[in-house]
Amino acid sequence: MTAALNSGIVTIARICNREIHMAVLRLFRSTLIATLCLSGFLAACRTSTTKFEESIKTTTVEKWEAPLPATENAVALETWWAGWNDPVLLALQAHAQEHSPSIAQAGARIAQARAEASAAGASLWPNLDFNASLKSNRDYPIPGSGKQIIRSTGLDARWEIDLFGANFAARSSMVARAKARDSEWHDASLSMAAEVANTYVALRSCEAQVDAAEQIAQSQQVSQGLQDQRLAAGFISALDLAQQRAILAANLTQTQQQQTDCAVLLKSLVVLIDLPEAALKEQLKSGHAVVPQAGNFIVDQLPANALLKRPDLRASMQNLVASAEEIDAAQARRYPSLSLLGSINILGIKVAGQTTDTHSWSFGPSLTLPIFDAGKRKADVDAALARHSEALAAFRHQSLLAVREVEEAMLRLDLANTQLQQHQHIEDLHTMNTQATQAGWELGSVSLLEKEEARRQQLTGQQQKWQKQRDRASAWIALYKAVGGDWQKPEN
């Protein structure tokens, strides 16, 4: 009876083991089918920059409110800097591009992002590890057997099958981040060229104004000498002479202030291009006090087309794509994972001069079903969704800011052009007045004091003209940067 009972227990155990085995197989098969279907569904939901490009076209303004610049004699953005006809400016910009710390930092961030994308892509491939060991001990595995030598070598392989696309989404996110860093490098390069040009134009304008201020001070000194003679002759009072001296002192103070402004601009340029001040001064001797002027370029009439050329907006767009891929990756990690595992091992044991070798191998799938993690995976999804919302808001803000920058630059450019045309008419009148005064002085009908006064008016008008030229050049530079410069979005 005992034998029959044992036989029944064994039979029941076999049946239970068979049922458990079949249940596990059914669970594995159903899970595998579900994972394949869901992974295909998720793969169809990938995000690309095309979606956000269409978003820009539908959410930005349909046309510019500010007046577009004139298209007469317009040049391509790729050759716009060369159209300034200032070799010193081009040389300084080239030096800044090669030695600027900010551009070097942007380049380092590109290398870092590309390495991270490469590391993320490695998770899509199988891993293969080789291991080897050699141990020597005593009393193992048989006490009293003396010294034993154990050697082991093997290969371990693991390949996680990316059923739900978690690894692929993580890699896509890193690739998008790398593209964003690349666009940020172009933005840094564009900003550096614009900042160098702005500082350079301001310095040249300052040099011209200092030269004019020095000539005005010389003219004031001539007038001061004449006023001293008139006081001695009794033609003016001491009060008139004091007023003349106050004007001369004010002009000298203004000249000193402008000289200080020029020195500050020079030091700013030293920091921008990373060039010793002595070498920069030597390079700036060519073209002293000559304010360069920009040529025209065409601004796209459709705001969306112009904005899509901006590298900073492209970077924001790529960051948005990366955050969307992070959502996919976090969602996929909530589902089962399937891996293929394999190993080959060779074990050798040498005891008392006798060697025994054993060989083993294993291969099979491994399924992991997430059951309970205290809400960690769901929290990861929520965090990814929040980051995506943040990136979306940043992208929208960047789009609005880009529109404002273009509009402001065009308004300032239109104002600068108008004021420069008006000032040209005023300068023509000053020139006519100076010529008439010079002719009258030669004929004896105009005094030297009147002649010097006309000369100072003309020099003051030239100072204002150089300031207007600087404003116009700065407006063009701001517009160049606002439309993305000569950077073009990559084809792929």
Peptide bond into 143 cis (omega under 30): no
Q: What is the pLDDT along the chain (492 residues), one digit of tens a residue?
A: 344 334 443 343 343 344 434 443 343 344 334 333 444 444 444 455 566 566 665 556 678 888 889 888 888 888 899 989 999 999 999 999 998 888 888 899 999 999 989 988 888 889 999 999 988 876 555 555 567 788 899 999 999 888 888 999 999 999 999 999 999 999 999 999 999 999 999 999 999 999 998 888 888 888 777 777 776 766 667 776 677 777 777 778 888 888 999 999 999 999 998 889 999 999 999 999 899 989 889 888 888 888 888 999 999 999 999 999 999 999 999 999 899 999 999 888 877 667 788 888 999 898 888 988 899 999 999 999 999 999 999 888 888 899 999 999 999 999 999 998 888 888 888 888 888 888 888 888 888 878 888 888 888 888 888 899 999 999 999 999 999 987 554 443
343 — alpha (psi -120 to 50), left (phi > 0) or beta?
beta
Question: Residues with Cβ < 8 Å from 247, sequence gap 6 or more?
Answer: 220
Give the H or E element holding residue 160: strand 147-161
The token pair at 159 is 């390949």
Give alpha helix (H) positions in 100-165: 101-122
The DSSP annotation for 346-377 comes to EEEEEETTEEEEEEEEEEEEEEE-----TTHH
Angle between helices 2-43 and 311-332 (to 10 degrees): 160
User: For residues 489 and 150, what is the distance between their CA atoms, to the nearest angstrom?
Assistant: 62
What pLDDT is stored for residue 487 in this prediction?
59
Nearest to 322 by CA among 116, 484, 35, 488: 116
Asked if 204 contacts 290 with a C-beta cutoff of 8 angstroms, the reply is yes
Other beta carbons less than 10 A from residue 377's beta carbon: 16
Place of tokens 């011209």: 208
The four Cα atoms 309, 76, 265, 211 give a dihedral, to 10 degrees, of -160
Question: What are residue 361's phi and psi, to 5 degrees?
Answer: -150, 160
What pLDDT is stored for residue 385 in this prediction?
95
User: For residues 196 and 37, what is the distance between their CA atoms, to the nearest angstrom?
Assistant: 56
What pLDDT is stored for residue 44 in this prediction?
42
Nearest to 174 by CA among 316, 315, 326, 311: 326
Asked if 245 contacts 224 with a C-beta cutoff of 8 angstroms, the reply is yes
Buried/exposed code over 194-217 (b: 16+ C-beta within 10 A; e: otherwise):
bbbbbbbbbbbbbbbbbbbbbbbe
